[in-house]
């Protein structure tokens, strides 16, 4: 009887997690990566949703462990989330994110999930994890300034008459290649660990870190030279290809970061016992939820971000996606939940102001920021109150 009750409870929690994954796929991870590319007319809305779903699934499996561990174990101290607490937290966050999807306002998923998990954790009698909160808040506050600033500077560089685009864009691609060479993937490392392309390639070379740095620079040079050749033959086509590649990298990074927001609360429930499952299997299930959300719900948000926030051209789109990719991978590496809506919207604003602020809706920006802050407070308060009410009635 106890086993049956536990199985039913876990099933409800799993469904809540799947709903959360769908909402994330339909919102932040499914809409933000290709929104600049759609705004630049480099890809259609429906095709973007299809591609981002597949890449998000891949990123969830290959890079989702760090953020999943952080959300599941590091947001509250002294207690372990119960099945009921996980259900309350996940449903609270998912409903708020879904409301954002259907109203056209991008609710910051990381704000919402973090608030919900902390709320139920405090209702359980747990202690705040102040050190983790400081790390999270530091990244959240830095994102608009770092992402928007880099996007602004990149867009200004691409608009400078004295710097030919056939030179500037390949140089930027080289920087992206340098970062990509050092991104860690689960499949490249030993069991339970991750490794980067540069580390694997330099594994048989003497010099340790120096060899890794040399391989990274070589990889960046190959990427830059390849794109330079492509743009020399056809500048518009080369630029468009780079834009689509950047959208793909951001979509992959979104899956690695956002899946943890849906799966983290489930970790304490599946650590041991008859219902324990490997983390990789859990990540695969969450990735499927992201994919379904991207395919069924993302087109609306893609259109909102691509058209409502700024009328982007290829150069400003590239400028928005480069810092988005770098910040996303930094968050994955640190295991910090971060909102892709915050990342991409900040970058879009930065690249938009490089063109004098053309097409940027200030009114929309204010409402969006208020929605982000409100979602954090609302998710925490609702999940805290809902759990306390449940325990009082049950």
Give the CA angle between residues 80, 83, 84 to the nearest 5°: 105
Residues forming beta bridges with residue 127, ordered by sequence position: 77
Positive or negative, the CA dihedral 384, 387, 389, 392 is negative
Q: How far apart are CA 150 and CA 21, in angstroms?
A: 30
47 CB-near residues (< 8 Å, 6+ apart): none
Please provide the average confidence, as pLDDT, over all residues in the chain: 83
Helix 45-63 and helix 279-303: axis angle, to 10°?
160
Q: Find the length of the chain.
A: 394
Residue 219: what pLDDT?
A: 94
For position 13, what pLDDT does the model report?
A: 80
Structure tokens at 380: 């925490």
Q: Which ranges of the chain have pLDDT less than 50? A: 1-2, 309-310
Contacts of 233 (CB under 8 A, 6+ apart): none
DSSP output for 173-210:
HHHHHHHHHT-EEGGGSSTT--EEHHHHHTTTSTTTHH
Taking the C-alpha atoms of residue 64 and residue 71, their distance in angstroms, rounded to an integer, is: 11
**DSSP state at residue 394:** -
Separation between Cα atoms, residue 256 and residue 60, nearest integer Å = 4
Q: Residue 325 and residue 331: Cα distance in Å, rounded? A: 10
Q: How far is CA 61 from CA 198, 284, 288, 338, in A?
A: 20, 6, 10, 18
Alpha-carbon gap, residue 20 to 15, rounded angstroms: 9
Which pLDDT value is given to residue 304?
A: 67
d(CA 65, CA 227): 32
pLDDT of residue 310: 46
Token pair listed for 30: 């499914």
- Report pLDDT for 142: 92
pLDDT tens digit string along 13-25?
A: 888 888 888 878 8
Contact status, residue 182 vs residue 216, Cβ threshold 8 Å? yes
Q: What is the pLDDT of residue 309?
A: 45
**Token pair for residue 393?**
């009635």
What tens digit of pLDDT does each residue of 301-358 get? 777 666 654 456 778 888 888 999 999 999 998 889 988 778 877 887 888 777 665 5
């Amino acid at each position: 009887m106890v086993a049956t009750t536990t199985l039913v409870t876990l099933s409800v929690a799993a469904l809540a997690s799947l709903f959360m994954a769908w909402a994330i796929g339909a919102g932040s991870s499914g809409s933000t990566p290709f929104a600049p590319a759609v705004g630049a007319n480099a890809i259609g809305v429906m095709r973007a949703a299809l591609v981002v779903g597949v890449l998000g699934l891949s990123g969830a499996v290959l890079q989702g462990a760090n953020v999943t561990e952080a959300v599941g174990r590091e947001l509250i101290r002294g207690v372990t989330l119960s099945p009921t607490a996980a259900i309350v937290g996940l449903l609270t966050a998912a409903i708020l994110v879904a409301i954002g999807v259907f109203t056209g306002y991008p609710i910051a998923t990381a704000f919402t999930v973090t608030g919900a998990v902390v709320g139920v954790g405090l209702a359980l009698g747990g202690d705040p994890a102040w050190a983790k909160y400081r790390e999270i808040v530091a990244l959240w506050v830095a994102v608009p300034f770092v992402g928007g600033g880099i996007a602004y500077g990149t867009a200004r560089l691409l608009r400078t008459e004295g710097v030919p685009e056939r030179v500037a864009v390949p140089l930027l691609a080289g920087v992206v290649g340098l970062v990509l060479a050092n991104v860690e993937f689960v499949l490249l490392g030993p069991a339970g660990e991750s490794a980067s392309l540069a580390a694997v390639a330099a594994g048989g070379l003497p010099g340790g870190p120096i060899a890794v740095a040399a391989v990274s620079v070589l990889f960046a040079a190959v990427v830059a030279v390849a794109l330079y050749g492509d743009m020399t033959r056809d500048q518009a086509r080369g630029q468009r290809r780079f834009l689509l590649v950047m959208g793909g990298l951001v979509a992959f990074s979104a899956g690695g970061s956002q899946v943890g927001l849906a799966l983290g609360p489930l970790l304490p429930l599946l650590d041991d016992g008859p219902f324990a499952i490997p983390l990789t299997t859990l990540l695969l299930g969450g990735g499927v939820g992201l994919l379904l959300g991207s395919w069924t719900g993302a087109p609306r948000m893609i259109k909102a971000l691509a058209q409502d926030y700024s009328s982007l051209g290829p150069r400003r789109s590239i400028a928005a996606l480069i810092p988005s990719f770098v910040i996303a991978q930094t968050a994955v590496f640190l295991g910090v939940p971060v909102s892709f809506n915050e990342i991409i919207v900040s970058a879009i604003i930065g690249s938009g102001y490089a063109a004098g602020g053309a097409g940027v809706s200030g009114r929309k920006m204010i409402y969006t920021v208020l929605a982000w802050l409100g979602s954090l407070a609302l998710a925490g308060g609702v999940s805290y109150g809902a759990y306390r009410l449940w325990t009082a009635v049950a």
